Homo-oligomer: A and B are copies of this chain.
Amino acid sequence: MKLKVGLIGLGRLGRVYARDLSSRIGETTLTAVADTDADLAARVAAEFEVPASYRHPEELLADRDVDAAVIVSPTHTHRDVVIAAMQARKPTFCEKPLALSLEECRAMAAAVQSSGAFFQMGFMRRFDPGYAAGKQQVDAGRIGRPVVFKSTSRDPYRPSLEYANPASSGGILVDMGIHDFDLARWFMGDVKTVSAVGGVLAYPEMASVGDIDNAITTLTFADGRLGVVDLTRNGIYGYDITTELLGTEGTVRIGYLRETPVLTMTKNQVAHDTVPYFMERFERAYTLQLQNFAQNVLAGREPPITIRDGVEALRVALAATRACKTGQPVAVDSITN
């Protein structure tokens, strides 16, 4: 039996999810799509042979042929859509970040709790074969006890200023950092304190929207272990995502630079290409993540990534944002909004 999924949000990632849900994931069929751009919804429905397309999420959630919802609409819509999905008691997957404020998060968490419906948070890196294998090795004790967490995220170029605007993106420490902060919690547990430095170093025009383009955050975990996350918009050479766990008996390093298995060797030089961007790097992780969601719903399993994970990663990101602005260490649990 396949899970009949309704997909809400048809932006770049939404279209990838449409393809995955309709054809790449054996456990799902895509029975409805919704987007505020109704024409787009209709076109995507036609392309992937989806029976129904809607303008409003509520319509989709009311569709009897929709067993479960996948939400990949803009972040500012998450609260209302998640609450509606919970009220409709549809098993729901929601893309990161959960929201831009903890207030919104609390409303969603309350809805999840009162509904009792299945809710799975999206952090695709956990499903990347590299990250999954690294986690498995750490859990298996290959590096002893991990004591330092290091993570680097580099975008190959500046996002559009519209996208970068913290009013919609949350700023670099939320938009990019939330992935690394979730990994930090996944590998090491809760973060107690953060410090951060940042600046507009590569793209002066970033200042016009009120965001920075580089940031470095240090983390102290609840048990005293350490972490560091550095983020940049000027990766230039490519999309470079690397995480390292330094342990008492070894180290695990996750990540790679080369996209295509070709070395080009010319006069005094050896060169290779690089990973272009996140869709190339995490294509398989995105698919595996939705497949995992479907399997969990079908098998009645607990979600591996809960709404609390979404809330707490955001809390660290907001703490880092404050630390970066104030120049002072910030206790993560002091962030309540």
Across the interface, A130 reaches (CB within 8 A) one of B24, B226, B260, namely B260
Q: Is the CB of B246 within 8 A of A234?
A: yes
C-alpha gap A269/B258 in the complex (Å):
9
Q: Is the CB of A253 within 8 A of B262?
A: yes
Point out the residues of chain B lying under 8 angstroms from A272, CB to CB.
269-271
Q: Is the CB of B270 within 8 A of A258?
A: yes
- Tallying the copies of this chain within the complex gives 4
Shortest C-beta distance, A88 to chain B (Å), equals: 28
Shortest C-beta distance, A200 to chain B (Å), equals: 8
Point out the residues of chain B lying under 8 angstroms from A253, CB to CB.
262-263, 265
Q: Is A117 an interface residue (CB 8 A)?
A: no
Shortest C-beta distance, A197 to chain B (Å), equals: 5
Across the interface, A270 reaches (CB within 8 A) one of B219, B237, B254, B328, namely B237
Q: Is the CB of B274 within 8 A of A130?
A: no
Q: Is the CB of A216 within 8 A of B228?
A: yes
Q: Is the CB of B262 within 8 A of A249?
A: no
Q: Is A150 an interface residue (CB 8 A)?
A: yes
Interface residues of A in 297-336 (CB under 8 A from B): 327-329
Q: Is the CB of B250 within 8 A of A265?
A: yes
Q: Is A142 an interface residue (CB 8 A)?
A: yes
Q: A216-B228, A251-B236 are in contact. Are A202 and B147 (CB under 8 A)?
A: yes
Point out the residues of chain B lying under 8 angstroms from A255, CB to CB.
261
Interface residues of A in 230-280 (CB under 8 A from B): 230, 232, 234-238, 246-258, 260-274, 276
Q: A264-B252, A267-B250, A270-B272 are in contact. Are A197 and B214 (CB under 8 A)?
A: no
Across the interface, A199 reaches (CB within 8 A) one of B150, B224, B247, B261, namely B224
Closest to A327 in B: B329
Q: Is A143 an interface residue (CB 8 A)?
A: yes
Point out the residues of chain B lying under 8 angstroms from A227, CB to CB.
216
Q: Is A51 an interface residue (CB 8 A)?
A: no
15 A-B pairs besides A148-B201, A236-B247, A268-B276 with CB distance below 8 A are A130-B260, A143-B266, A147-B234, A148-B214, A197-B218, A201-B225, A216-B218, A216-B227, A234-B247, A236-B248, A250-B265, A251-B264, A268-B273, A269-B271, A269-B272
Closest 3 CB pairs of A and B: A237-B265, A130-B261, A147-B201
Q: Can you offer 28 A-B residue contacts whose CB atoms are under 8 A?
A: A23-B23, A23-B24, A142-B264, A143-B265, A143-B266, A147-B201, A148-B232, A195-B197, A195-B218, A197-B226, A201-B248, A202-B248, A216-B218, A216-B227, A234-B248, A236-B251, A236-B265, A236-B267, A237-B266, A237-B268, A238-B265, A249-B267, A251-B265, A254-B261, A269-B273, A269-B274, A328-B328, A328-B329
